[in-house]
Amino acid sequence: MVAADPRRPIECPTNHLNHLTLSSRTPIASVYDLATLITDCCANVFDQYHIPDEFQFLDFFERFIGAVVDGEAQFLQEFTEGLDRLNRSPDADSVELLSISRETKLLVEIKDIRDELSILKMVLKDQETTMTQMWGIIEDAKIKPGKEQDPHASYKRNRILEIHLFRIKKMEELANKAYDEIKHLLDLKQKQANISEALSARKQAENIAEQSRIAAGHAKDGARQAELGVEQSALLVEQAALAGKQAEETARQGKTLLVFTIITIVF
């Protein structure tokens, strides 16, 4: 007989040999017992009580899901604290607060975990279906001619397989919850981004309106100054006209004085 290799604990032949070396095992009395042993060993290949820690794949999934849940809770707490700071200081930079890069990575990670769990569950379900069918075949083969099948005979369930399916179901529920929570956080950030964008647009509109008001005031002042310039120009024109009249009057008086002077000289 070939010795079992302890360095390969998840190989079915190794598990078969390990079982055959047990002194307390149930004896194999028929080909049906051998078939049951082989299928059980295949279904129990990831039995958590018989494989080392480096092959505890379901534990790996549980830890990964727990890390995603913790990450989502941390990001939500940071987002809440960031909103408080933003409310106290509306002019603070909100770019980092509204960044979704970390949440997106978590979403991709939890989606991959969900897909892998779905594949693993499908494999285990196929195993469960196969074992159920095999048990029916064995029971039918054990029926002696002329004897009806025992109505109390039932499928011998594989407890390890059921435990695996139960753990996967719970992990799927937790993964789905984490997936929904991350999407909810992304939705909150999107809504906050919309609010921030609306506030920024309103502030820009207010600034534009204020600049327009200031420009209108400057234009009004310019118009007033132009009016004053026109008034000053009119005043200068009026003064020039008055000066012209005064010059004409002075010239007329000069002519009159000249006439009187000439008359005086003549007489």
pLDDT attached to residue 3: 43
**Residue-wise over 115-144: b if at least 16 C-beta within 10 A, else e?**
eebeebbeebeebbeebeebbeebbeeeee
DSSP the chain: -PPP-TT-TT-HHHHHHHHHT-TTSPP--SHHHHHHHHHHHHHTTT-TTTS-GGG-HHHHHHHHHHHHHHHHHHHHHHHHHHHHHHHH-TTS--TTTT--HHHHHHHHHHHHHHHHHHHHHHHHHHHHHHHHHHHHHHHHHHPPTT-PPPTT------HHHHHHHHHHHHHHHHHHHHHHHHHHHHHHHHHHHHHHHHHHHHHHHHHHHHHHHHHHHHHHHHHHHHHHHHHHHHHHHHHHHHHHHHHHHHHHHHHHHHHHHHHHHH-
pLDDT attached to residue 109: 94
pLDDT band, very low/low/confident/very high, at 51 (cuts 50, 70, 90): low
Residue 101: count of CB within 10 angstroms of its CB? 6
pLDDT attached to residue 42: 74
Structure tokens at 4: 């079992």
pTM of the model: 0.63
Q: Does the structure show a pLDDT above 90 at 156?
A: no
Residue 225: count of CB within 10 angstroms of its CB? 10
pLDDT attached to residue 8: 52
Q: Mind listing the pLDDT tens digit for each residue in 64-123?
A: 999 999 999 999 999 988 888 877 776 666 778 888 889 999 999 999 999 999 998 998
pLDDT attached to residue 233: 80
Taking Cα atoms as reference points, which of 52, 11, 10, 16 lies closest to residue 2?
A: 16
pLDDT attached to residue 50: 62
- The dihedral built from the CA positions of residue 172, 158, 19 and 22, taken in this order, carries a sign that is positive
pLDDT attached to residue 2: 41
- Phi-psi category of 150—alpha, beta or left, where left has phi over 0 and alpha has psi -120 to 50? beta
**CA 180, CA 143: separation in Å to the nearest integer?**
52
pLDDT attached to residue 267: 63
pLDDT band, very low/low/confident/very high, at 35 (cuts 50, 70, 90): confident
Tell me which of 26-35, 64-73, 190-199 is least confident.
26-35
Total residues belonging to the chain? 267
